[in-house]
Amino acid sequence: MLCVYEMEGAIAAIRSPFSTSTEYADRKTSQYESESEKSARDRAYVIFSRLQKYNDLYTEMRSVRQRCRVVFGDSYTGLFDDLWSIIIKIRFSAEMLGDHYWTEPMGHCEDERRKEMSAERQKYEQVIWSWGSSDEVEPKVKKIVAEAERLFREKITPSTIGQRICNA
């Protein structure tokens, strides 16, 4: 359960819309980057540096997933897979935004294409940043946490813990 709670906190921290220049200060820039490309890649890099910060947690989560599979069965692995898919989706969205949507000026596009690009960009931005009532990621995380609490509460109660200690 602890790993699930830690992942919940990590996802919230990664998706915070607030950042500081220290989060992208060590990004290597290209001499050929325009100011708009640099700004876009700096914003994406913030997400990558936050993702990187939690690498040990992801490794731990994958290990806990396997232990849960051995001890409790396959039905306990889905919530870990769901958490991992959220991390992958955040990474992919940051890549798309940094490489395409934040670097390409939309002013030269026709109205219809500009609307499409704006909608696509918003979709990816909603994945990497928490957006209040329109946030689709946070409710998914909350649902996974609630499911983990339900599943593990059935298996980890004071009486079952006592039995495991006595039988060890």
Quote the pLDDT of residue 23. Answer: 82
Alpha-carbon distances of 60 from 49, 54, 64, 98, 150, rounded to whole Å: 19, 10, 6, 28, 21
Quote the pLDDT of residue 63. Answer: 95
Quote the pLDDT of residue 144. Answer: 97
Quote the pLDDT of residue 165. Answer: 53
Quote the pLDDT of residue 22. Answer: 79
Cβ contacts of 121 within 8 Å, gap of 6 or more: 97, 101, 102
Residue 4's nearest CA partner among 68, 78, 79 is 79
b vs e for 147-162, b when ≥16 Cβ sit within 10 Å of the residue's Cβ? Answer: ebeebbeeeeeeeeee
Cβ contacts of 21 within 8 Å, gap of 6 or more: none
Residue 84's nearest CA partner among 10, 1, 151, 2 is 10
Supply the pTM of this predicted model: 0.79
Quote the pLDDT of residue 167. Answer: 57
Cβ contacts of 29 within 8 Å, gap of 6 or more: 38, 41
Quote the pLDDT of residue 161. Answer: 52
Count of C-beta atoms within a 10 Å radius of residue 80: 22
pLDDT, averaged per 10 consecutive residues of the chain (168 residues), comes to 94 90 81 79 86 95 94 91 96 84 64 78 86 87 95 72 54
